[in-house]
Amino acid sequence: MARLLPLKRPPLRAQLAAVAAGRCPRCNRGRIFRGRLTMNAVCPVCELRFDREPGYFTGAMYVSYILAVPVMAACAAAVHLVAPGWSFETTIGAAALLFLLFVPAIFRYSRILWIHLDQTVDPSDSSS
């Protein structure tokens, strides 16, 4: 029977720093995004393919939801603190407008987190 060797993983601090900086989960150096909303197809350093298959980022939508709910709640709370006399509908509408400022960051970090989670669960050695 084949003996499984433990995978060498970077320390948690290095992984969290890579997530915060938007770096590749394999090498922790290459940028995942080359622009504000434009992703690299592969890591410019280690050539890890970020989009592994069609529909790969469907899971990132769930991560996006997990990130968006508390941000929207915080926006609603902030609007309510600033304008406590507004109706519920007006407060939610204003919070939704305020939330739009956070959409690019939520988009980026949902994909970054998804790539890191996926590489933790199913490490890939595939290059382009």
Beta strands in the chain (DSSP E): none
Determine phi and psi for 23, rounding to 5 degrees.
Answer: -100, 160
Place of tokens 């410019």: 44
Residues 6+ apart with CB under 8 A from 116: 15, 18, 19, 25
Kindly report the pTM of this predicted structure. Answer: 0.82
Helix crossing, 103-121 with 58-82: angle to 10°? 140
Q: What is the mean pLDDT of residues 85-99?
A: 96
State residue 121's pLDDT score.
87
Residue 101 carries which DSSP code?
Answer: G
pLDDT for the residue 5: 45
Task: Say what percent of the chain tops pLDDT 90.
Answer: 66
Q: What is the mean pLDDT of residues 61-69?
A: 96
Cα–Cα–Cα angle for 48, 25, 10, nearest 5°? Answer: 125
Average pLDDT, the chain: 88
Task: Name, of 5-14, 91-100, 116-125, the range with top average pLDDT.
Answer: 91-100
19-28: burial string, b at 16+ Cβ within 10 Å, e else: beebbbbbeb
Whether residue 102 has pLDDT greater than 90: yes
Supply the pLDDT for residue 51: 86
For 5-61, write each residue's pLDDT tens digit.
445 667 788 888 999 999 999 889 999 999 888 999 999 999 999 988 889 999 999
Predicted pLDDT of residue 30? 93
